[in-house]
Structure 1
Amino acid sequence: MNLTQELTQSTIVGSPRKFEVLLALRKAVLTERYEECPKLIERAFRLKATRQEVRSILENPFRHLEGF
């Protein structure tokens, strides 16, 4: 299962906004716009993102590409 599928399963049912913020965080990391990350992380936690969801994006934003 790739990261987007995991986020969709764990997130979209509860909060589409949280899913969007987590994807924005992933995009910020991939495009090296690190100055945006603290605000996006704060927003994600306010929207009830888990530490694991945030950590998985920060540790390996390319994870969804594995296996392709």
Structure 2
Amino acid sequence: MDLDEGLGLDARLKRFDESAASGDKSRLVVWAGQGVGLTEQGYFVCDVVKQLHKDAVSALESGFQLVAEQ
């Protein structure tokens, strides 16, 4: 891993650019946590998962109803 090798940001970005130019999609630069300052409220993970489940079930039920009507 680049970070374990002690590479700085510029070196990691250079490696990313080089691999992207050659078509290698195995290297990715991820900016984790950059938008955290834009949040106004925190949520517990269990609440997020429950809401995702509820939304997924609702979407599947809507899709099923559309198919059943035809």
**Structure ranking higher on relative contact order (CA contacts 8 Å, 6+ apart):** 1
TM range (shorter): 0.3 to 0.5
Structure showing greater radius of gyration is 2
